[in-house]
Structure 1
Amino acid sequence: MKDEHNKDRENDENLYKAFLKETKQEFTSTYSLSEDEQRKIVKDGRNTARITNIMISLAILLLILPIMTLFTYMYYGFGGKANNLIDVAAKTIYVTEPNMSLEEIEIEDDIGFFSMRLLFDVYKRIGKEDYKAGDYDIYFALDKPSFPKKNYFLERPLVEIPSVETETLLHPKALIPFNPQEEWNMLNGLPDGSVAEVYVSLSDLMEPDDLKKIMPAETELRWFAVNTGMEEGQTDKEGVPITPIGYPAQIDTTTWSPFNGREQSNEEVFMDILALLEKNEDVAEKVARAKSLEIKDRRAYLRENGIQIYGAVITGPTPELRKLEQIKEIRAMKVGEVKLWNWK
C-alpha cells in the first residue's frame, strides 16, 4: 500500500512538473519579445522620461517667471524708484540740452526682468512751433542706466561726444572754436521767409532780465546758459569736457513741465533740479551728452554767487535774428536749426 501511495505521489509530481514546463513554454512563446521590440520599449521609456523632465522644468519656470516679474515690479514700485528714474532722466534733458523739452506725459516705461526701458521724444522750439528733434531709448538694469540710444531728426544736431572744439555756447573768457563771421554770413544768406534757432555767446556775464531787455522785439529767448564757475576752463578737474547747464527762458504752460510757473520761478525750479541731479548724478551723466557734470561744485558756486548767464538760445524770424549782430553785448553766434516761416 505504501509503495503504491508513493508511486502515485511520484506520478502526480511528474505530471505537475510537465504541466509547469508546458505552461512556461506556452507563456514564453506567447509573451516573449524580440530584440527590436525590447529596444523600442527602452526608447519609449527614455522619451517618456525626457518629456516628463521637460514638463517638470516648464512647470518650475512657470512658477519662477511670475515671482521674478512680481519682484521686479515691487523693486521699481517700492519707494517710487521708477518715477524717480523717470524724473531724473526728464529733468536732465531740460537743464543740459539747450532749447530741448519733452512731454513727460508721453514717456513710456517698459518693465522687464530686473530691468526697465524708458522711451520718449524730445522737441525743439524753432520759430513758433515745437518740432520733434529726436527720441531716446534708455535701458536700466535695476537702477543702473546704460548709455541712451538717441535718434535725432535735426539738420545741425549738437555733437554726441562734446569737446572744447565743438562747443556752441561760450564763456566770455573762453576761446571761440569757430569763425563767428562765417556764422553771421550763413544767417544773412538764409531766406527771409524762414525762422531759425541761434546760439549766442555774450561778451560779459549778465543777469537774465538784462539780456531780455536788449533782444529784438520779434524774437524769443528759449534757454539760458548759466555761469557755474567752470565754463571759462570748459573742463572739470580731470580735464573731461563739460557742457553748459541752464534752464528755459520761457514759462512752459503745459501742466507736466517742471517750468510751468505755477508755484516757482524758472530759476528756483532750476536750482531744485540741480539738487535732484546731485543725488542721482550717475544717472544724469549717462543721460546727458557730457559725461562730467560736477553738480555738487556747480551748485555750491550758484548758491554763493547767484545766477548769471553767459549765453542763450534765441529763435525768431531770420530777418529779426540778423539784428543780433548789431548788439554789442553779443560776442559770437552759431546757427542752429532752420525751418520755413511759422511766425504768427
Structure 2
Amino acid sequence: MINRMTWRTRVKELIYALLVVLILFFIYAVYNSAIHIYHYKTGLNDKFLRTVITTVELHESGLIVDKRSSSLGEVTPFLTQKTNLKVYKNVGEWQVIVGELHAKKQLGGKLTYSIEELNPYLNREERNPYILNSALLEGRGIKDDPHPTGAMNQLGRLEDGNVAELFFSLRTLRSPEEVLELLSDYDVKATSMAVFAGELKDFKLGNYSSSSAGHTIPHLTLRPKVQFSDNHFLSSWHTFFSLDAGITDHEQQLIADVEWMTNNIKYNGVDDDKHRLAYLKKNGVLVYGATVTGPVRELEKLKEESEFWGFRLGRIEVWNWS
C-alpha cells in the first residue's frame, strides 16, 4: 500500500514537473517571438543592419556587404542583435565572395564585428593597399619615385582572357571627379576610393604603419551610393561609380553617413570619425587612392598615367566583361 502511494506521488511530481517545463517553454517561445516581431515591426532590425553595412563598408577599404541577404538579422533572448553576412569584391562584373562578416551589438553596447576572410594565399594582405605619401600631408605632390613595376609585370604576364582588380595611390590629393576623369579614357570601372580626412595632419591616429614610401593608415572609403529610407530600410545601391551620373551625390552621402554613424552608433574608432567628419565638412572630399576593375590589358595601360603610382594587383578572374 505504501509502495503504491509512493509510486502515485512520484507520477504526480513528474507530471507537475513536465507541466512546469511546458509552461516555461511556452513562455520562452512567446517571449522570443514577441521580441523578434518587435524588432522587425519597429525597424530596430533594419537600423541594426544599416549600422553594420555602413560601418563595415566605410572602414574596410572596398569590402562590400551582401545586401541581398540584408534582412538576415536576429535578436537573442538577452536582446543582443546578431547577423552573419557575406562580404565580396567586384572583379570584372562578378561579385567574388572574399569572406564572412560576423557582427553583434548588445543592448546599449558597442557594435563589434569580425571578418573571416577566404584568402587563398598565406601572408598576403589586401585589406589596406593604399599609401598616403608624406608629401601629401604637406600639401605637395610626389615628384620622384618612378612607377613601381611589380604589379604591372604581373599584369603583363596574364593572358587577355582575364579581368582583375587593381589598386593604386595618387601623387596628389584629388577630387573623386578628377580621378574618374583620368580613368575615363580606359575601359575600367572604379569600385572604391580612399578618402583623406585629416589623418596625421589635423589629428593623430592610434594605429598606423609608416615606411620610406609613406603611411598606411585606417581611412574612410568612398563607395558607390547606398540609400536608406527614413525608417532605415535599404532602398537602393550602386555597384560602380559613373562619371556620367555625377559624383557629387556619392560625396554628400559619405558625409551624411559619417554624421549618422557618429550620432547613432557606438563603435571602436568613433572619436577618430568625429575628427574626420569635421575635416570633411570644412575641406570637402579628397582622395589619395582608388580601386578599379576591368580587362587586364586595360588595367595595364594605367601605368601611362603619371598621377597613378603604388600599383597593387588584387583578385584575378576569367573574362566576365561586357
- Same fold at TM > 0.5: yes
User: SS in structure 2 opposite 1:125?
Assistant: strand
Q: 1:94 to 1:195 in 2, by over 3 A?
A: same
What secondary structure is seen at the aligned counterpart in 2 of 1:217?
coil
2:18 corresponds to 1:55: yes
Amino acid at match of 1:172: N
Matched, 1:123 2:88: yes
1:308 aligns with 2:292: no
CA distance in 2, matches of 1:185, 1:330: 16
Pick from 78, 87, 98: which aligns with 2:61? 98
Q: Distance in 2 between matches of 1:255 and 1:325?
A: 38
**Does the 8 Å contact 1:218/1:316 carry over to 2?**
yes
> Is the aligned partner of 1:194 residue 2:194?
no
1:268 and 2:252 are equivalent in the alignment: yes
User: Is this contact kept in 2: 1:154–1:337, CA < 8 A?
Assistant: no
> What amino acid is the match of 1:265?
D
2:319 is aligned with 1:341: yes
Q: Which amino acid aligns with 1:297?
A: H
Displacement of 1:155 in angstroms is 4.2
Letter in 2 for 1:298: R
Aligned length: 292
Question: Are residue 133 (structure 1) and residue 133 (structure 2) matched?
Answer: no
* CA RMSD across the alignment: 3.7
Give the equivalent residue in structure 2 for 1:220. 189
Relative to structure 1, the CA distance from residue 235 to residue 94 in structure 2 (aligned partners, 3 Å threshold; closer, same or farther) is same
Q: Secondary structure at the match of 2:236?
A: coil
Of 139-148 and 221-230, more deviation after overlay is shown by: 139-148
Shift in Å, 1:47: 1.4
Partner of 2:261: 277
Distance 2:120 2:194 in 1: 22
Q: State the match for 2:130 in structure 1.
A: 169
Tell me the distance in 2 between the aligned counterparts of 1:299 and 1:258: 23
1:248 has 2:209 as partner: no
Q: Distance in 2 between matches of 1:45 and 1:250?
A: 71
Task: Work out the CA distance in 2 between the residues paired with 1:158 and 1:212.
Answer: 32
Give the drift of 1:306: 0.8
Cα distance in structure 1, aligned partners of 2:94 and 2:207: 38
TM-score (norm 1): 0.71
Alignment of 1:326 onto 2:297 = no
2:194–2:290 Cα contact (<8 Å) kept: yes
What is the TM-score with the length of structure 2 in the denominator? 0.75
Structure 2 unaligned regions, length at least 5: 137-146, 210-216, 228-233
1:155–1:247 distance in 2 versus 1, CA, 3 Å: farther
Structure 1 156/211 Cα, relative in aligned 2: closer, same or farther at 3 Å? Answer: farther
AA partner of residue 73 (structure 2) = D
Match of 1:110 in 2: 74
For residues 137-190 of structure 1, the C-alpha deviation after alignment (integer angstroms, 9 at most, x for no partner) is: 334444646744544445469989x9xxx7411212289xxx944333323333
Q: Which amino acid aligns with 2:284?
A: G
Tell me which residue corresponds to 1:184. Answer: 152
Q: Which letter maps to 1:110? A: E
C-alpha change, 1:193 and 1:66, in structure 2 (3 Å) is: closer
Task: Provide closer, same or farther for how the CA distance between residues 240 and 211 of structure 1 changes in structure 2, counting only shifts above 3 A.
Answer: closer
How much identity, in percent, do the aligned residues show? Answer: 20
Of Structure 1 and Structure 2, the greater strand share is in 2
Q: In structure 2, what is the Cα distance between the partners aligned to 1:158 and 1:97?
A: 18
Change (3 A) 1:149 1:212: closer
- Is the Cα contact below 8 Å between 2:207 and 2:218 reproduced in 1? no
Q: Residue 206 of structure 1 aligns with which residue?
A: 174
Match of 1:257 among 234, 237, 248: 237
Could you list the runs of 5+ residues in structure 1 that have no partner in the other structure?
1-36, 286-290
Return the structure number with greater helix share. 1
Separation in structure 2 between the aligned mates of residue 297 and residue 53 of structure 1, nearest angstrom: 62
State the alpha-carbon separation in 1 of the partners of residues 224 and 298 from structure 2: 18
What is the CA distance between 1:337 and its match in structure 2?
Answer: 0.7
Q: Tell me which amino acid in the other structure corresponds to 2:133.
A: P
* 8 Å CA contact retained: 2:111, 2:266: no
